[in-house]
Structure 1
Amino acid sequence: MLGILGLLVAIVLLVYLAYKGVSAIPASLICSLVVILTNGMPLWEGFSQFYIGGFSYFAGTYFLVFITSALFARAMDDSGSAQTIAYKFLDWFGAKRAILVLVLTTAVLTYGGVSLFVVVFATYPIAIVLFKEANLPKRILPGILAFGAATFTMTALPASPQLTNVIPSQVLGTSLTAAPLLGIFASILMFIGGYWYFVRLEKKMREQGIGFEPGPNDDMSKYENVDKSKLPGAFVSFLPMVLILAAIIFIKGIFQPLELVVYAMLSATVLVFIFNWSRMTNKLNTINQGLKDGIAIVSVAVIIGFGFVVQNAPAFQSFVNFALGLKMHPYFSAVVATEIVAGITGSSSGGLTIFLKALGQQYVDLGADPAVLHRLTAIAAGGLDTLPHAGGIFILMGVAGQSHKESYGPIFWTTVAIPILVAFICTFVAIALY
């Protein structure tokens, strides 16, 4: 009982500390200590094996992705390419549609196979110009990025290459287009619900006179009194981003996924330098600052370390057993169980893997349609995975220069509340039609 209470207290404490502005490193260490002590785990082993093991796994796996993505983003910003793209979007769609433009941009990138972490770095320089010109408050930026990148394109749209859609395919033997009509239906509901929320929120903030204010890390001097005639052309500005998307879509069979992302980011960065050689007057500073920006991976890695401590705590299995033992319709129990485990781990892929490897085949043996089970569990995994203690939330806040207290509200409504509601609506539909 003490162990279970310890897990709950640790997760709540992590959320509380994040809201109070405590950085990820001390917060994750304190909360890991709570889990270790209340679960009777050896202190040294808990930190050296589980916490550092989780940290090392994530940092070691994604370090090159982070630094190359951050370098690309810095090059796009310093060259003026990001500004050109933002102004072109404003010319095409108008400042009134800035939110829609950003949502669709992140959605296209993630549906093309670009990971959330890469999307955050790649789109931030564009987003800052859009927000400045449209006079939108930065506090809603993390929510818009999360909504576009971590909801319908990650879990519901058929053929999505994101890990949340790949895991059920690997475990259940289904295709990435499993239950396409159900997936499209869920995507439409998520998009309408999330976009409607942001339209209402924008209107409310404008009525309150809340507008754009730069963050502590935003160098706004480069965005003041811009002579658009001196910015790079639209073709050379869009081409590096198109290259990334095209490489991930069309060359994915040649390289390993992470290897491909790194090569694509480096190639795109080289293109930015070639196209803007004369404009980039301090190239060494761009490289130094870009690689330095990639150190943001530490904030995510320490939260993953906390997650590893949680998953290795004896009490964690009690939560898993409870979730897996729910007595209700198979589709409902699958959705609820996946939500619970994804929420505890702070990871959609973690929740899916644990649930499907434990009981996926048993559900199929009971008569569940593998394709429907695939789609429902993928959608469910994208609900509680973005609670405040999730690693991805920390990277969003870090890049945008915002705090949980300022910016988590929109993330909750568009990536937690609405996806959960959609998951249950789709479950009713699946029971009725399949």
Structure 2
Amino acid sequence: MPKLPLFLILIPFLPFLCTSFSPENPSSRRVLVLLDDLALKSSHSVYFKSLQSRGFELDFKLADDPKIGLQRYGQYLYDGLILFCPTTDRFGGSIDLAAILDFVDSGHDLIIAADNNASDLIREIATECGVDFDEDPAAMVIDHTSYAVSETEGDHTLIASDDFIKSNVLLGSEKIEAPVLFQGIGHSLSPANSLVLKVLSASPSAYSANPKSKLSNPPSLTGSAISLVSILQARNNARILISGSLVMFSNRFFRSGVQKAGTLTKHEKSSNEQFLTELSKWVFHERGHLKAVNVQHHKDGEADEPSMYRINDDLVYSVEIYEWSGRSWEPYVADDVQVQFYMMSPYVLKNLSTDKKGRYFTAFKVPDVYGVFQFKVEYQRLGYTSLSLSKQIPVRPYRHNEYERFIPAAYPYYGAAFSMMAGFFIFTAVHLYNK
């Protein structure tokens, strides 16, 4: 049977390829959701519907489905992956630990929700992402002072946490008023990974232990060192969310009222929905995604980019930076964008001014050093994708016919030379004609 050409094989997948993650449309629109039980589709439907209402295409599969896969014919079928399968010991199909890590290394996004029954596989994936869950498989986060009294009186594993990271780009500009309900396993951040951040922390009185047994040894995780929800943005700008609780995504926790122990304020609704919705916007690049375009440099007073500069030239550098709002590119406004004029080390470091319409610019004088320089913009800010721009340009010295005919700074040397010649002439005349 003759083989079909590759373009004919890919025709059925063209609609997917055309809507995939791209620099001009950076939101992760096609998301694979792996579940332990298909009943999670209904018990966590509010969270899933919030994603679908924003245009995400969710493909629900059982984690052990033998037909699942992340890529086909060398192309990734999905832009994001949600693992709501904490008890899964082994994925079906072609998905395994290496496939998930390759998925993230290729710039795709990942959400992991665990609980106190988390399998070794889920723990290993989290460890590779810079997070270490409590080694005790029966451990849960316990807090005797910051527990929630809205559901089951005396259940100190039901945490009401309001220790959020202070970042509008991560959690949105609207203030989170009510605490977040959490019930699950705590984790710590790997000190070897500087990219992972705590988004929701436990209170100083919390600790991680088995709630059904008495403490015989000091708990391994205590206080604010316990992270309940963490995020990571990799160097390739892939984003990861890791939660120690699957039930915090559920409809029950989304709709439940909450009252924190020791307070009189009772909130009719927890902040789980607001917190996780805003965080998912960040994870799937609906917020905090930057792009830089129209990098330009030229001599002051000119418009064309030269092939090289001369020492002491006056130049102008500009770049346009935009932020993805979820639907369109909006001008990014900040006052901490810098450019370096770099050769082995920065000879010039300048803050860029902005017209608040996306354009950043500055002007400076080329240093009195010739060689091969680079314009470099290395922009890293909490919650935003990093920008790394570089443009190489040589700098030459003056040509022999470009120097000033007479240099004012050398007038004393000119005077010394001519005065020496005049003195020598007078001395010679006196010596020859004096009897």
State TM-score, norm by structure 1. Answer: 0.28
More strand by share: 2
Question: Which one has the largest radius of gyration?
Answer: 2
Larger relative CO (CA 8 A, sep 6+): 1 or 2? 1
More helix by share: 1
